[in-house]
Amino acid sequence: MEKNQYIVALEIGSSKIVGAIAEKTSAGYLSVRHLQEEKHLNSVRYGIVQNVENIKSSINRILKNLEGMVDGRITQVYMGVSGRSLHSSLTEVNRSVGSTEPITKELIDRIIHDATSSPIKNHDTVDIVPRAFYVDKVETPNPVGQFGSSIKIKVNLIVSKPALKLNLNRLMTFGIPVKDYIVTPLAVAEQILSDSDRELGCMLVDMGAETTTVSIYKNKALIFLNTLPLGGRNLTRDVMNGLSILEETAENVKKNINNPLDPSNVSNVVIEGVSAREASNYIAARTGEIIANINQQLADAGVSSDGIQSIVLIGGSAHLGGLQQKLEETIKIKVRMGQNPSTLNILNPDINRLEYIEVFSLLAKAAEQIEQGETCVELNKYVDGPTFDGPIPVQPAAAQQPAEPRTSKPAKPKKTGGRWELLKSKLSRLMSEDEEADDEQ
């Protein structure tokens, strides 16, 4: 009987760290019931770890808590990669090939790998995503098995500043290695976008605390990815600075206004001593800037709004009141909220929330990558009864004496003295015996 596999994933965001464990059965059934998170402030800026020691301590606590939940030991993790500098860079690779032999998968893999031979200045390549294939200048969805004299491959290099991945590596120095790094926006898109989304044209918008990542798909391929240094925290800080209040108060005010993106219709109520209408003016202005930047990504990708059929909105800041409607009105594209991966069964209702869509997508993607028989958790083993460190020593059996027949014996005289009294008794009996022998002579 094959054992179930356990997958552990970590997602580090600008406002919180989330870790979760999924269980995969031999039949491929994937479920999750254990999740831990820790919120933080100013240790991660724009998705890039700034205070390594603080984040390392948080990760250690999260993993220890997860170990207690499954009664086991975590041996490796999958780590999500996202952040301000993460973006795609289009590159092309051309090769002449022998027309008498079919194009093989091995050849395609070598050509794609060669795409990283010319690194982008001051950036590391995190992933490579094929975009289009051409055999003898004719585009084809799959060149393997075809014949031709030339092949061209367009690939999107997913790149970031070296500090992004370098600081992620520095976090895992307490004995638990990173099994693999997974680009979070790619994992989310793969898990929650439908085939028709990717075919007809879709923009995936992940609006977090300090960054907004835009991924654009068309003709079943990723054609553009970029991360903007703008997010929900910008709205909060505008309210905080504009009204001279604490950031925590500004955040609560922002969350408790029904539709802060329509200031003229906001009731002039007071929330924690703050005018809701005044706060909504700041929120609406900054949100308008973020939406304008999202719309600009279409132009940067070389895609018209007519070429995109839908926008899928996710992220912790995506639930701002009225954001979905405002985005749809401005960009003139149908907007819907993203849903958690359908391949993952969330057994714990307390964690079945859309704010965890990133870590759930990482778990689902890692479950596809993990090799058969491999696991991220070693469960503790218990046996009934006492356990011993070594073999039980065998004691030699004592020699068994033959049983004597039971006979009635006269009662022994009661001992009334110590050793001296016994000695006197014995001497008295010996002297009596000698006197009797003399009389017989």
Each residue's pLDDT expressed in tens, for the chain with a length of 441 residues: 468 999 999 999 999 999 999 999 999 999 999 999 999 988 998 888 999 999 999 999 999 999 999 999 999 999 999 998 999 999 998 989 887 889 999 999 988 888 877 778 889 999 999 999 999 999 999 999 999 999 999 999 999 999 898 889 888 877 899 999 999 999 999 999 999 999 999 999 999 999 999 999 999 999 999 999 999 999 999 999 999 999 999 999 999 998 999 999 998 899 999 999 999 999 999 999 999 999 999 999 999 889 999 999 999 999 999 999 999 999 999 999 999 999 999 999 999 999 999 999 999 999 999 999 999 999 998 866 665 555 555 555 555 555 444 444 444 444 444 444 544 455 455 445 444 444 444
Residue ending a domain, among 345, 379, 413, is: 379
Residue 417 lies in a domain: no
Q: Which of 342, 363, 379 is the last residue of a domain?
A: 379
Is 35 a member of any domain? Answer: yes
In a domain, 401, yes or no: no
Asked if 285 and 226 sit in the same domain, the reply is yes
The predicted pLDDT at position 439 comes to 47
pLDDT on residue 115: 80
Q: Name the domain boundary from 379, 399, 421.
A: 379
Helix H, strand E, coil C: the string for the chain is CCCCEEEEEEEECCCEEEEEEEEECCCCCEEEEEEEEEECCCCEECCEECCHHHHHHHHHHHHHHHHHHHCEEECCEEEEECCCCCEEEEEEEEEECCCCCCCCHHHHHHHHHHCCCCCCCCCEEEEEEEEEEEECCEEECCCCCCCCCEEEEEEEEEEECHHHHHHHHHHCCCCCCEEEEEEHHHHHHHHHCCHHHHHHCEEEEEECCCCEEEEEEECCEEEEEEEECCCHHHHHHHHHHHHCCCHHHHHHHHHCCCCCCCHHHCCCCEECCEEHHHHHHHHHHHHHHHHHHHHHHHHHCCCCHHHCCEEEEECHHHHCCCHHHHHHHHHCCEEEECCCCCCCEECCHHHCCHHHHHHHHHHHHHHHHCCCCCCCEEECCCCCCCCCCCCCCCCCCCCCCCCCCCCCCCCCCCCCCCHHHHHHHHHHHHHHHHHHHHHHC
Residues 22 and 148 in one domain: no
199 & 273 share domain: yes
75 and 204 housed in the same domain: yes
pLDDT at 46: 87
User: Do residues 150 and 177 share a domain?
Assistant: no
Q: Assess if residue 65 is contained within a domain.
A: yes
Shared domain check, 251 and 336? yes
* CATH number for the domain harbouring residue 15: 3.30.420.40
Same domain? 81 vs 103 = no
Q: Are residues 126 and 176 in the same domain?
A: no
Counted domains in the chain:
2
137: domain CATH number is 3.30.1490.110
> Is there a domain that residue 81 lies in?
yes
Residues 124 and 63 placed together within one structural domain of the fold = no
Looking at the structure, tell me whether residues 168 and 313 fall in a common domain. Answer: yes
Please tell me whether residues 271 and 353 are part of one structural domain.
Answer: yes
Residue 427 counted as domain residue: no
Q: Are both 319 and 373 inside the same structural domain?
A: yes
- Does 339 fall in a domain? yes
Domain, as residue range, for 275: 5-85+161-379
267 lies in some domain: yes
